[in-house]
Structure 1
Amino acid sequence: MSSSPSAPSPADEDHRLVKGLVVRTLLLDVLERDIRTLDTLLLKMPEVYVLSLNRIQNQVLKEILAVRKQMRIRGVKILEEKRETEGIETIYLCRGYWQRFYMLWTFARNEVKQELCRHLNIDLTQRL
């Protein structure tokens, strides 16, 4: 029996990488918006907050680079990302197979919030 010469079909890990990249990209957008907002507020020490968010931005950028590297290794390439009213759609190619990943904004918001909490070492279940 000979093995098939075709590429392996997409796996859960491939979908996880795409989702991780989308969520981190959204997190960068949120951080950038928050930094611009902080600059407009009359805070006593805005530079402390801005520096903190800049540090998180740098960490997220490093994570994005690592995810992109893994995607290259696994043969995953994002072709298109559409932000629509209901959610965000990502079309990607995975070892020759066209794939679609769709995330509703409510789900995306929760994922971004969890990712931000991870970077801030905050557990939202421990609310005051």
Structure 2
Amino acid sequence: MGPEHSAALQQRHQQQTQTTMPTKEELEAIRDFVLLPMLLSIVEKNKQEIERTSYSMRTIFVKAANIIQNLITNDIQAVRKLLKERNIKVFEDEMIDLNLRYNYICRGYEDKFVLVRDVARAELMRRLGKYSEFLK
């Protein structure tokens, strides 16, 4: 390997291992990575409850839930792709005092992400409302 190739390889390695804090967009992606699977399971649970009922409009509600699940799944895939491209990993930590804790590593920068349960619940309901707007 020539000296110019070696220098280029070292420079690329330094760029890859450089620790940088996440941007606002990346922090939102980390939050989405945590919240969207929760929202998906809420929709699934409600869909299963509706399927067990004898409501006359049960089929319509189940179809609406399926549409919302597909939208959420697409968003989850997009968030996972973004995090992978940006070299960000998120790990579930523990639940203390009803707070959900996650650790993340962003290009070598490590930090914690804490979600207060009540805030998460309110955010999940807000997002569910946004997804239901697609049904109009």
**TM-score class, shorter:** 0.7 to 0.9
Match of 1:91 among 103, 126, 135: 103
Q: Hey, what's the Cα distance between the residues in 2 that align with 1:85 and 1:63?
A: 29
Map of 1:14 onto structure 2? 26
Relative to the length of structure 2, the TM-score reads: 0.78
The match for 1:44 is 56
1:25 to 3, 17, 37: 37
User: Where does structure 1 lack aligned partners over 5 or more consecutive residues?
Assistant: 123-128
Indicate the SS of the match to 1:92.
strand
Q: Distance in 1 between matches of 2:96 and 2:124?
A: 17
Report how far residue 79 of structure 1 moved.
2.3
Higher helix share: 2
Q: Are positions 1:107 and 2:111 aligned together?
A: no
- Rounded Cα–Cα distance in structure 1 between residues aligned with 2:85 and 2:34: 18
Residue 32 of structure 1: CA displacement? 1.0
From 50, 56, 65, give the equivalent of 1:53. Answer: 65
After the TM superposition, list the runs of 4 or more consecutive aligned residues in structure 1 that deviate by more than 3 angstroms.
81-85
Q: What is the TM-score with the length of structure 1 in the denominator?
A: 0.82
Q: Highest Rg: 1 or 2?
A: 2
CA RMSD of aligned residues (A): 2.1
1:79 aligns with 2:79: no
Cα distance between partner residues in 2 of 1:12 and 1:43: 44
What is the alpha-carbon distance in structure 1 between the residues aligned to residue 93 and residue 63 of structure 2?
Answer: 30
Whole-angstrom CA distance in 1 between matches of 2:94 and 2:133 = 31
CA distance, structure 2, for counterparts of residue 68 and residue 89 of structure 1: 19
Distance 1:31 1:84 in 2: 25
Deviation digits for residues 15-71 of structure 1 (CA, Å, limit 9, x no counterpart): 111101212111101101101111222201311101110110011000111111111
